[in-house]
Structure 1
């Protein structure tokens, strides 16, 4: 099972979306929905909103064919998780429409994304997120999956519990994956921390890195020529 497939597994525990190649061939709708969600996640994290919206629409269309609210809720949670990983905190509107028919772990995960999971529901969360849900910032550093790690870091930031070490790890992870949108969000946090900490030199360095990530430095060089 590849890394992208693993991204979806913790969000719902629905095996239909994470079937391994060694098992029976899954139906076409399943393969198409999974592929579209993977492309949607990657596109959003890289900053390509047009592709993200198109692929998400395809995934929703395929999943709605099953008439299963739990499968569609999985896609909506993954969609919202990418926002949290990129420090965009907004209601998970797509999931909320399905909440009354969602499974308990899905409801717990939705509440977790909002930083409002109840203590008794933490055990229902994916294992990598449980310690972070309890406020253990150090646990984020030990999460291997890149998206899961950024989601946990985003939840802690939302609650005002993200340490500088967590912010640095989020920057490093987003950078290593080439996830421009998420990287820019975390670099801006890091730059603000440097400014608030009275380190203008570090803040300036981070602003240059932000400009480079945005492509501004390259564009400015072209204009000079």
Structure 2
């Protein structure tokens, strides 16, 4: 699994958690193991391997609960839910985080609301900097985001709030494709396919179906 591309987004959400990512003393083993498990969990989900994703998430949860700190566990749950938004699984509640909400930080609560497309204007400043423009409904926000996962999360929020223009969809497809992330790629290709079908663009719809079949590693559909 390629976790390199995930690290900026993970570190953004876990700021203050892992001393190993700074110049300070070596972090305790439980922190290193929690981060490693979250890296692998996120990568597995994006690649379409739910079994590995959940196994690694449970390992991360086990390590984080050793601290007795709800805010640290909340970080992992938010990252877990962010992968869903990036992959357009928008009807799945972030239930594990909601159980922790009373003891989460204000910034974490704002991020959870953002993932649902419901962040309040006064809370936008609490979000990671890369997400603030998208939270404000700016479809051009993706151009300023370099981290792939952050870009897909922003695109997912824009889509669920009705602010995703064709350029957002195209950038999301390109980002998922470049990372080899099968799950979000299929989701965003599906969005583009529906647009082509609704617009009566038969040739483009057929092309997208072939690409979806290729991404699924299935035989391409035969057009009558």
Q: TM-score range by the shorter chain?
A: over 0.9
Given candidates 184, 189, 198, the residue that maps to 2:186 is: 184
Q: After TM superposition, give the deviation of residue 3 of structure 1 in Å.
A: 4.4
**Cα-to-partner distance string for 1:18-44 (whole Å, 9 max, x where unaligned):** 632643211000000000000000000
Change in Cα spacing, 1:119 to 1:21, as seen in structure 2 (3 Å) is closer
The question of whether the paired residues in 1 share the 8 Å contact of 2:44 and 2:52 is answered with: yes
Using the size of structure 2 for normalisation, the TM-score is: 0.93
Partner of 2:161: 159
Partner of 2:72: 71
Change in Cα spacing, 1:133 to 1:18, as seen in structure 2 (3 Å) is farther
- Distance in 2 (alpha carbons) for counterparts of 1:215 and 1:172: 18
Q: Which runs of 5+ in 2 are unaligned?
A: none
- Distance in 2 (alpha carbons) for counterparts of 1:153 and 1:105: 20
Root-mean-square deviation (CA, aligned residues, Å) is 1.5
Partner of 2:63: 62
The question of whether the paired residues in 2 share the 8 Å contact of 1:9 and 1:18 is answered with: no
Q: How many residues align?
A: 217
Partner of 2:43: 42
Change in Cα spacing, 1:9 to 1:18, as seen in structure 2 (3 Å) is farther
- Distance in 2 (alpha carbons) for counterparts of 1:157 and 1:93: 21
Change in Cα spacing, 1:82 to 1:111, as seen in structure 2 (3 Å) is same
- Distance in 2 (alpha carbons) for counterparts of 1:110 and 1:58: 22
Using the size of structure 1 for normalisation, the TM-score is: 0.93
Given candidates 95, 118, 121, the residue that maps to 2:120 is: 118
Change in Cα spacing, 1:84 to 1:183, as seen in structure 2 (3 Å) is same
The question of whether the paired residues in 2 share the 8 Å contact of 1:37 and 1:55 is answered with: yes
Specify the SS of the correspondent of 2:219. Answer: helix
Q: Are 1:87 and 2:93 an aligned pair? A: no
- Distance in 1 (alpha carbons) for counterparts of 2:48 and 2:197: 26
Change in Cα spacing, 1:18 to 1:118, as seen in structure 2 (3 Å) is farther
